[in-house]
Structure 1
Amino acid sequence: MWQRKRHRGIGRSLCFSVCLLLWFMEVKLCLGSDKLSKGDSLSGSDTIISEDGTFEMGFFSKTVGSDHNLYLGIWYKNFAEKTIVWIANRGKPLPNTPRSRLEISGDVDGNLVLFDESDIVWSTNMSSTFPASVEAVLLDVGNLIVRDVSKPSVVFWQSFDHPTDTWLPEAKLGFHKYNGNMQRLTSWKNADDPSTGMFSVGISPR
């Protein structure tokens, strides 16, 4: 009898320890889940979520004709129907395979780079030299930024400067301050194909 009670006690203690460990793991996963740091990689069903839980970024697939394409995008997290607000590689879809990944370049430029195995499909394409301590963060407004870890107010790149078809609150339309290019919204080709469509809107210099 004593041995049976002792075994039950050990079983309950083990169960409690496992639950506690899982809880700590969950807390750890929630902390910093809005960031992608150097050495991290986003692939498969991995996502990062804005701090307030409004927006989520990861991979989504679309079937275009006979092709099953994969895209890196941002969408509203809690909408019943996935509503995409930004796409990194809308003109260069990935094959729908587990080889695709997003990571911060190990080079001095600190670019966000989207790979299909070893081939670069998309990049933030920053040409200047930046500090080694950079991170990508998905903000509560749906803006993906690359910033200095030691000085978070210093932003090197942001998705708001490269809109696709959706204009979010706090985003602006105008001219890129570095290259003079017009920022514009461009429709999807159709409901299943997020490549650039026939219609766009922007601010004309005339």
Structure 2
Amino acid sequence: MVPVTLMADRRVTKTKLIFGFLFVGYVSIACTYAADTLFVKETIRYNKTIVSPQETFELGFFSPANSTNHYVGIWYKKIPKPTVVWVANRDASLTDTSRELTLTLQGVLVLQDATTGNILWSSANSSRASVMNPIGQLLDTGNFIIYQEGDQENPIWQSFDFLTDTFLPEMKYSWNLVTGVEWRLTSWKSVNDPSSGNFSYGIDKRGYPQPILMDGTSIMFRTGPWNGLRYTGLPNLRPNSVYNFTFVLNQREIYYRNELINTSVSMRLVL
């Protein structure tokens, strides 16, 4: 399955959004451990992965091309050249393979040194303090969720709340107006380095909200405000047979999201 891709041109002198097909993502990935669920105290090590129910996505350790650093990420499983869509420890790279990913009794996903137990990355800042029987699961949307047993519809943590450079269907780039938390895409620093780069894409809530593409503090592109049907600066954004799109503005949040209608294709926006 080849993903239909909406990509941001990284040239500083000229910026555009285009539809195309993706032929990037050269990474080194560990072998497969065929399960979609991570239970408490289970561990994913460098030679194991978990796979979503329909084998659409895979989660585990990977290394970018021409790099000796290692990361925990999620990628498309069935694309021949692995295509990473999410990175957990993007700004905390690993220099060796003696690491392990574990789900704790508190419902926290922890990346730690297998020898010393030192925590290198965790989801602790976003999980609830008290959890009964937490379960981690990789979904066919590409979302990894942690939920309390029997309550999958209300995750206590999910990777979709921590965007990296890729926008998948059912994700939201948004502002939570109650907490002040923003979800925005941030580019990789380079094709070999997934740490946070200069480019970002999210919603500018000054005036009437609209998405903007930034290079550092400089605005490179803006969509124009939502007119009830589409963004005014994107006339080609219109009803189609591939996906639905939604823009929501209320007292609690502002967000944009799309959902696939035709599940035989895979669509994503890459910064």
Contact residue 107 and residue 127 of structure 2 kept, 8 A: no
Give the Å deviation of 1:62: 2.9
SS at match of 1:44: coil
Structure 2 length-normalised TM: 0.60
Which residue is 2:220 aligned to?
Answer: none
Give the Å deviation of 1:171: 0.7
Q: Distance in 2 between matches of 1:85 and 1:62?
A: 13
**Amino acid corresponding to residue 60 of structure 1 in structure 2:** F
Which protein is richer in helix relative to its size? 1
Give the Å deviation of 1:178: 6.4
SS at match of 1:155: coil
Which protein is richer in strand relative to its size? 2
**Amino acid corresponding to residue 103 of structure 2 in structure 1:** I
Give the gaps of 5 or more residues in structure 2.
1-32, 207-271
Query: Residues 196 and 53 of structure 1: is their aligned pair in 2 closer, same or farther, counting only changes over 3 Å?
Result: same
RMSD: 1.8
Give the Å deviation of 1:129: 2.0
Q: Distance in 1 between matches of 2:52 and 2:101?
A: 17
Identity of aligned residues (%): 42
Q: Distance in 2 between matches of 1:205 and 1:162?
A: 19
1:149 aligns with 2:146: no
Give the gaps of 5 or more residues in structure 1.
1-28
1:123 aligns with 2:122: yes
Q: Distance in 2 between matches of 1:59 and 1:45?
A: 8
Which residue is 1:39 aligned to?
Answer: 41
Structure 1 residues 62-81: Cα deviation after superposition (integer angstroms, max 9, x where no partner): 366xx611100000001111
SS at match of 1:200: strand
Higher Cα Rg: structure 1 or 2?
A: 1
Q: Distance in 2 between matches of 1:178 and 1:78?
A: 39
Contact residue 71 and residue 90 of structure 2 kept, 8 A: yes
Query: Residues 178 and 164 of structure 1: is their aligned pair in 2 closer, same or farther, counting only changes over 3 Å?
Result: farther
Q: Distance in 2 between matches of 1:178 and 1:73?
A: 30
Q: Distance in 2 between matches of 1:114 and 1:178?
A: 30
Query: Residues 127 and 50 of structure 1: is their aligned pair in 2 closer, same or farther, counting only changes over 3 Å?
Result: closer
SS at match of 2:204: coil
Which residue is 1:57 aligned to?
Answer: 59
SS at match of 1:74: strand
1:165 aligns with 2:162: no
SS at match of 2:164: coil
SS at match of 1:59: strand
- Within 5 Å, give how 1:55-134 maps onto structure 2: 55-62=57-64, 68-97=68-97, 99-106=98-105, 109-117=106-114, 118-125=117-124, 126=126, 128-134=128-134
Structure 1 residues 42-71: Cα deviation after superposition (integer angstroms, max 9, x where no partner): 00121110001100000001366xx61110
Give the Å deviation of 1:155: 0.9
Q: Distance in 2 between matches of 1:176 and 1:162?
A: 13
SS at match of 1:90: coil
